[in-house]
Amino acid sequence: MELTINQLLKEGINFLNKVNFKKAENCFRIILKSQPQHFEAYYFLGIILNELNKLDEAEANYQNAIKFKPDFAEAYYNLGNVYRDIGKLNDSELNYKKAISLKQEYVEANTNIKIIFKLKKLLSNVEKASEEKIKNPSNLKIINSVIQLAPNPFITNRLVENSLINYLDKISFRKLDETTDARFGNGKCSLDFNLFEENNIIIKKISKDLTNIMCEAVGSKVHIIDSFFNILGAGGGSKPHNHLIPFDKMNAIGTQKYSLVYYLSIGDQDCEEPGILKLYDPDKEILPSEGMVIILPSSRRHSAIYNGTKNRIMIGANFYSL
């Protein structure tokens, strides 16, 4: 029995949710063969192609979705994401603003406009730093941090203040299971990736101290792009992942990007999954201790699973050497 268009759409979305991209794509393409103006099929096909890193094709499908439904806020938002990833920051910002004009409480679009501002500032700082190195080569500290920190991450320690833990426990958060990144399970995390921009004396101090540690680790000034916290309960963690984004490759700055984790509380390590930080290529396991700070290249895959009875609290940041 042949499926109706609505049945095909429902089935395609179901396959998409199960990350079966091949079957989902087939459903949406069948729909478009019989209904070439079906904006939802174009939209979901765009999502699949985006996940497969076929950004040019994803862009074309989002454009078609908008063509046949000009008030499609989510399509404008996803198109903004594509433009961000291929480095068209002005086009990205315009699409986020269009999404917000159609859906005023569009939290993700508002958040991503802030990200675009940060990426523009990053590129400006990278360019200025490159010009300065050309003008003053004698001031350049020769250090290949990516090679140095790949097999053996930079590890140091910073005393943890109880006031910092208490502050993180009180500020706004979202559940780990509500994120769309590698984090999962029981726990909570920052609403966004702008923790160090909080107008709070405790956060300002930790931001300053960790920035100094970053500079020491990579031997240069740094530009922080993300800052956040994670509070893991039993069953919380992160799947194997790295912190590079297509934007890094597009602008040839991936080798300048690093990731930091600062453990405020290690929770209960007397359990089957004590929250070991697992690094890959090369493989390495690190059992965190309270106050431990670890810095590694953002290209290096890592994961962690925690199953203790007490909360495990950490601060994370992604930054670029300049």
Which pLDDT value is given to residue 135?
77
Does 121 reside within a domain? no
Give me the long-range contacts of 43-49 (CB less than 8 A, separation at least 24): 43/72, 43/74, 43/75, 43/78, 44/9, 44/12, 44/13, 44/16, 46/75, 46/78, 46/79, 47/16, 47/78, 48/16, 48/21, 48/24
Which pLDDT value is given to residue 142?
45
To the nearest whole number, what is the mean pLDDT of the chain? 92
Q: Cα(60)–Cα(153) distance, rounded to whole angstroms?
A: 41
Q: Are residues 173 and 50 in the same domain?
A: no
pLDDT at residue 72 greater than cutoff 60? yes
Give me the long-range contacts of 126-134 (CB less than 8 A, separation at least 24): 126/223, 126/251, 126/253, 126/256, 126/320, 126/322, 129/220, 129/221, 129/322
Structural domain ending residue among the three candidates 84, 109, 134: 109
Sign of CA dihedral 100, 101, 102, 104: positive
Q: Cα(287)–Cα(53) distance, rounded to whole angstroms?
A: 34
Model pTM score: 0.81
Which pLDDT value is given to residue 111?
86
Q: Are residues 104 and 165 in the same domain?
A: no
Tokens (6 digits) for 63: 């454009």
How many domains, the chain?
Answer: 2
Which pLDDT value is given to residue 250?
85
Q: How confident is the model at residue 261 (pLDDT cuts 50, 70, 90)?
A: very high
Which pLDDT value is given to residue 147?
60
Across residues 164-177, what is the average pLDDT? Answer: 91
Does 312 reside within a domain? yes
Structural domain ending residue among the three candidates 109, 125, 159: 109
Does 254 reside within a domain? yes
- CB contact at 8 A, 11 and 4: no
Q: For the domain that residue 154 is a member of, what is the CATH number?
A: 2.60.120.620
Q: For the domain that residue 11 is a member of, what is the CATH number?
A: 1.25.40.10
- CB contact at 8 A, 279 and 193: no
Q: Are residues 76 and 212 in the same domain?
A: no
For 120-167, what is each residue's pLDDT tens digit? Answer: 999 999 988 888 877 776 555 544 566 678 788 999 999 999 999 999
Q: Which of 171, 214, 178 is nearest to 194 (CA)?
A: 171
CA-to-CA dists, residue 144 to 47, 125, 172, 281, angstroms? 37, 20, 39, 18
Which pLDDT value is given to residue 139?
55
Q: Are residues 79 and 215 in the same domain?
A: no
Q: Are residues 185 and 85 in the same domain?
A: no
Tokens (6 digits) for 16: 């998409």
pLDDT at residue 116 greater than cutoff 60? yes
- CB contact at 8 A, 106 and 71: no
Alpha-carbon torsion, ordered 79, 82, 83, 87, to 10 deg: 170
Which pLDDT value is given to residue 191?
87
Q: Are residues 275 and 152 in the same domain?
A: yes
For 292-310, what is each residue's pLDDT tens digit? Answer: 999 999 999 999 999 999 9
For 91-109, what is each residue's pLDDT tens digit? Answer: 999 999 999 999 988 988 9
> In the chain, what percentage of residues exceed pLDDT 90?
80
Which pLDDT value is given to residue 145?
62
Q: Are residues 151 and 227 in the same domain?
A: yes
Q: How confident is the model at residue 26 (pLDDT cuts 50, 70, 90)?
A: very high
Strongest mean pLDDT among 70-84, 168-182, 238-252 = 70-84
Domain that holds residue 294: 144-321
Does 116 reside within a domain? no
Does 139 reside within a domain? no
Which pLDDT value is given to residue 178?
87
Does 56 reside within a domain? yes
The strand order across the sheet containing 257-265 reads 154-157, 292-297, 257-265, 312-321, 222-232, 187-190, 173-175
Q: Are residues 151 and 238 in the same domain?
A: yes
Does 125 reside within a domain? no
Does 154 reside within a domain? yes
